[in-house]
Structure 1
């Protein structure tokens, strides 16, 4: 059962670039990114971490390349994973050239840190020769000295001026395959900077609240900041920056997009907070289902409501629903209609079976429709 949001978000119009085969900007889906935290020179560990992120649904992964050993390992990493890799470069322009030669799909740089215009020109040439895009990464914690002297402290105007100044370097070289980020750990500063930048240009924007914090606090900060921007139509690709494993960043990124109706992947669970009326342990049931259904990629909705107060109403809007009942028997809904009951002892396994069957049904119908459209 498809769900129509009350209000459709109108996305800001931006140019489209590519990170490998993944389009960013324009009318392309908003992509979810993360970053590895393994030593990049340990190719095996980095590859394993990227593969876990891939299972979580990541679109693009960034890896840090601070030294020659890292860029040397990059070639193997790029070859062994299925998503495009962004090489994170901060100071040495040669690392950017080596990363491009190793197969990076994008170079994350700050042109002001690379050095002279001649060095920026060399990096752009390498990016152009090897089909790389570039991300201009401006951060409130590392603004250029002349901007700090001009503004006194990091503020939205300083972040935007830095971003457009760096963009001009690339445009002067007739290079336009770039996106921009203006991140800050302060939610208000980051949101204001992105709002101003969105009005000042049509470059695709990578959004994020940098150094957001741990799993819970970082998720809250990122949801407030990124949610505000996305609701306003700002953002073409995003990263949720958590002091947590990369796959957790991916899960939160997807949950933000799903909550706003911007992208759909996997099972969206609508569940109650539980109370004394619950007919089964809602908290434990939802936690188990989130883990056991993580492998489902097909978008569908599942409501888990502990009692009949809101359960039937929520079930009207979900593909599958369960409402707690008496005598340890609970009502199961299919496409908003009451269908059958299930014993509490069998409920979790039964729900998993129903969801897997529904996901297969939806996927088969989509494949048939795609084949029909291709034939026409």
Structure 2
């Protein structure tokens, strides 16, 4: 409903673009949301089932750990079943990277400096080129190289950036440029400072994250502060919210961060009050139920749920559908910012869900019609 205003505009850092399978990362491509499976990778059925839940939540990319031969042996089946590109997580065993590339991984998460000799780096680069794989360099404040810790005395932004540049040089020495980089840390200040320094030093896409962020609530807060600050500054091309929670929750939080900054518009954006004694219905339980029942909506729709008429009408003017609590169990419904009709408490939940679903269907039909009309336009 609300128009884009200049003070809401974020100017993104201009990175070069790479492809992770069929998904563009960097440049003017949408900021992608990714997560990581936590099932044993050799259990392909369980891993595919988890990937499917993450796909339904909106994940653009998904990382799968490949610590052993059994994992890379199952990777081919997983890649074929996945609807989104697979990133193979490799740490010290360069042969796992070779196997993952041959199995169809779209990207290898590997630090070239950690896999041994220059010959091994060359082998991984050859495999990546031969299979069309991108590479994600993942620097972490908790696992910096010994010589950098000795040089700087402790993990610091300069150490993370130097580590990233060292790994990048190993790829560039082999004329490999399809890479993205992360400089994660569990400390928000350290991570944000490192990303800002790296953003000035390189032109490659940056993968954002606050690592080991914590549980669903604490980790969400830390990630929103760290990732949100970087996104607000225009830095970041893809992100993962690292939570001690199910991977699909990471995806949902990632999209909420992007939605709050106007950088992605997927699904229902709920505007709701914290509730007070003025509320005409149980706002907290109503919002919980609506969020659960509307997870299947992919079309961007705004919904305001306010317990009383103090701020309700004002918020409703800015959303596609609005609900404001009233007296005697009768509540006002707004459509496109305008008062439209009332609904009784006992019918309210089902009624709002039906309105959102109908609005989503209407918007999808309009988008399909516009796309069809554009295809039929004569070429200029």
- Is the TM-score greater than 0.5? yes
TM-score (ref. length: structure 1): 0.99
Greater Cα shift, 184-193 or 136-145: 136-145
1:1-376 superposed matches below 5 A: 1-4=1-4, 6-376=7-377
Task: Give the 4+ runs in structure 1 shifted more than 6 A.
Answer: none
Q: Deviations over 1:144-179 (max 9, x none)?
A: 111111111110000000101110111111110000
Greater Cα shift, 226-235 or 144-153: 144-153
Local SS of the residue matching 1:269: strand
Local SS of the residue matching 2:286: helix
Structure 1 residue 2, shift from structure 2 partner: 4.7
Structure 1 residue 3, shift from structure 2 partner: 4.4
Structure 1 residue 229, shift from structure 2 partner: 0.3
Structure 2's unaligned 5+ residue stretches are none
Q: Deviations over 1:84-110 (max 9, x none)?
A: 000000001100000000000000001
Local SS of the residue matching 1:354: helix
Q: Deviations over 1:6-45 (max 9, x none)?
A: 4210000001001100000000000000000111011111
Q: Deviations over 1:283-312 (max 9, x none)?
A: 000000000000000001000000000000
Local SS of the residue matching 2:290: helix
Local SS of the residue matching 1:137: strand
Local SS of the residue matching 1:149: helix
Structure 1 residue 372, shift from structure 2 partner: 1.6
Do the aligned residues in 1 keep the contact of 2:113 with 2:170 (CA within 8 Å)? no
Do the aligned residues in 2 keep the contact of 1:61 with 1:85 (CA within 8 Å)? yes
How far apart are the structure 2 equivalents of 1:37 and 1:109? 18
How far apart are the structure 2 equivalents of 1:317 and 1:370? 27
How far apart are the structure 2 equivalents of 1:37 and 1:312? 44
RMSD: 0.7
TM-score (ref. length: structure 2): 0.98
Do the aligned residues in 1 keep the contact of 2:34 with 2:238 (CA within 8 Å)? yes
Local SS of the residue matching 2:195: helix
Q: What number of residue pairs does the alignment pair up?
A: 376
Q: Deviations over 1:42-84 (max 9, x none)?
A: 1111100010001100000001100000000000000111010
How far apart are the structure 1 equivalents of 2:375 and 2:241? 36
Q: Deviations over 1:299-340 (max 9, x none)?
A: 010000000000000010000001001111000000000000
